[in-house]
Amino acid sequence: MVRDLAADVLHGTSIIDAMKAADVSHILAVPDLHTSSGLLARIADDRTLQLIRVCKEDETIGISAGLSYGSIRSICLFQYTGFLFAMNAIRAVAVEQSMPICMMIGLLGKEPGVAPTESARFGVRIVEPILDQLGIEHHLIENETDVGAIPPAIETAYGKHRPMALLIGRRPV
C-alpha cells in the first residue's frame, strides 16, 4: 500500500509560499501555540514579509482594513480563541463593511483527520458554525494538498471585497 505522505503533514513554508503567491506582504499576528514554531517563527525569519505583532486580535481587523485601502494584502494570524475574542470587529468591519479580511485561524487541539465540528474541544467545534452564521467563506488547511486552496481564497476575498477564513487544522512543521 502506498501511503500518501502529503496527507500527514503541513509545512509552514508551504503556507508562506501560498500566501506570497497571492501577493500577501503583511502578516498581522498574535502568537498561537498551534502555529508558533512551524509558521509564525518562519514568517518572522522571512525578510520578504512584514510581520506586525499586535497585542489583541481585533487590532488585526482594523489594521488589515486600513492596509486594504492602499492595495496592501495582509493575513490576520491568530488562534481560534482570538477569533472568538475579535468577533465584534469581524462582524462589524469584515462582514458588515464588506472588507477583504483574510484570517488564518489556528485550531489548537483539533485532532488531525477529525472534522472541526467533530472535535472533542468545544471551542474548536463552534468555529465553523459561527463562520457559517457570519456568512464567511472558510477552508480547512490540514495537509499539503489543502494548501493549494490558499491563493485562490485570498484572490477571491480581495477581488470580491469580502472576508475569508483559513482554518489551520494541524500544527505546521
Partner 1 sequence: MLDRMKCLGLFRERITEEIVVATYSTATDWLAISDRPLNYFSFGAMGLASSHGLGLAIAHPGRRVLVFDGDGSLLMNLGALVTTTAVAPHNFVHIVWHNGTYEANGGHPLPSTSVRFADLALAAGYRKTMHISDMPTFESSLDAILSESGPLFVELIVEQGQLGPRSYADMYSAKRREAFRQALNPPSDGSRFAGPLQ
* Candidates 38-46, 49-57, 77-85, 134-142; binding stretch for partner 1 (CB under 8 A): 49-57
Interface with partner 1 includes 56 (CB under 8 A)?
yes
Interface with partner 1 includes 29 (CB under 8 A)?
no
Phi, psi of 59 (to 5 degrees): -55, -40
- Residue choice 15, 54, 154, 157 for contact with partner 1 (CB under 8 A): 54
Interface with partner 1 includes 48 (CB under 8 A)?
no
Number of residues that bind partner 1 (CB under 8 A): 29
* Candidates 38-46, 61-69, 76-84, 145-153; binding stretch for partner 1 (CB under 8 A): 61-69
Three-state DSSP string of the chain: CCCCHHHHCCCHHHHHHHHHHCCEEEEEECCCCCCHHHHHHHHHHCCCCEEEECCCHHHHHHHHHHHHCCCCEEEEEEEHHHHHHCHHHHHHHHHHCCCCCEEEEECCCCCCCCCHHHCCCHHHHCHHHHHHHHCCEEEEECCCCHHHHHHHHHHHHHHHCCCEEEEECCCCC
Give dist(CA 76, CA 142) in Å, integer. Answer: 18
For residues 64-93, which are near partner 1 according to CB under 8 A? 64-72, 88-89, 91-93
* Candidates 1-9, 40-48, 50-58, 106-114; binding stretch for partner 1 (CB under 8 A): 50-58
Interface with partner 1 includes 63 (CB under 8 A)?
yes
- Residue choice 52, 84, 126, 149 for contact with partner 1 (CB under 8 A): 52
Rule CB under 8 A: which residues touch partner 1?
26, 52-56, 58-72, 88-89, 91-93, 96-98
